[in-house]
Every structure is written in structure tokens, then in C-alpha cells.
Amino acid sequence: MSSPFRIAVFASGQGSNFQTLVEAIQNGSVDAEIVLLVSDKAKAPVVERAHKAGVDSYVFDPKAYAKREEYELEIAAELERRQIDLVVLAGYMRLLTPVLVDRYAGRMINIHPSLLPSFPGKDAIGQAWNYGVKITGITVHLVDGGMDTGAVIAQKAVEIRDGDNLESLEEKIHAAEKELYPVVVSWFAKGLVHVEGRKVSVLQN
């Protein structure tokens, strides 16, 4: 019997996407195991979510280190000790250095609430709303160390209609995230993702 596909989730906030993955694993739609939560905020709600789900947490204080590489070396050691197959960023609010990015090249993904390359960075939903676009959406991409610049794995469009406001748009974006992220994680767990440069293809089941 093969060992389960092992995931580490990095998160800094509420942990809604973390919870979505927990539930997707529980209902069998993702054949994997969340082995570890990594968080830079000890009091973030996601830490409590991990505790309730029986997932170990590695929580650190960035201010206790002189530079990012120092705490990332400690995180890398923890990931390697736990034999992590895929790193899933889910609202982790820190740019990563090559210490982690290089180690997990092609095995580290992020979800961003816009159709990249449009509206990278913070408050992507607000950026799209203020710009007045009619279609925005979400992007799941590989992490390459830049600000939302990694190769695109999958995208899902979200229409902005006349009756929408910023709050309703946020709700639609979050609903789309819950639909798409577990699907992409399941592709990795099944070994279906093929990366060649910036071109990412998903093999058929």
C-alpha cells in the first residue's frame, strides 16, 4: 500500500482555504493528507482550525529572526523531516526566499484572487473592483519567488454584474476558490501536473 500524498499548508489568517482542503480530504475528493500547518501568526484562526482538524502546527515569530532566510531554513528542515510532497500557500502573507522556493520548485502552489497577470499583490479583489473590469476571477499558480509571477496552473473566471458590490464580489471569489483549489491539489496528488517552463499541462485521468 502506497503512503499518502503529504501536504503542508502555509497560512496567516482565517484559514478558509485550509478548511476547504481539510473537508475535501475528509469527503474523499482529494486523496492526500495535510501533515502540517505553517503559520507566522500564533493567534491566527487557522491555527485553531488546524488543532480541531488534528493537524500539527509549526508557528514562528518572524520578528525573532534577523532575516527571512533564517526562519525559512528552520521551516525547510521541518518540511523535509515530514517528507512533504506539496506546499500549499493559502493566505500566507509573506514573500518567500530561494531557501524554500528552490527546494520546492514545481511543488509549491498559491491561490490568488484575480486572473493573473492582472491585479497581482495585495487587495486584488479591490483592485479589480476599483478598475471597473467586468470579469475577474482566481488563479492557482506555481510559486517562483516573485509577487504572484509563477506559472499558471488553473484559472476560474468570475463575472462582475451590475447588481454586485465589493462584498458580493468577495463572496463570489471565495466560492470560486473553494471550488478550484481542492481540484488542483488533487491533480498534484494524482501526479497529473506536467510543467515545462511557463507551460503547465494537466494529464488526463
Residue 169, φ and ψ in degrees, nearest 5: -65, -45
Burial class (CB in 10 A: 0-12, 13-18, 19+), 140: buried
Query: Is 112 labeled as catalytic in the residue annotation?
Result: yes
Residue with cell 475528509: 26
* Cα distance between residue 5 and residue 35, in whole Å: 9
Q: Which residues are catalytic?
A: 112
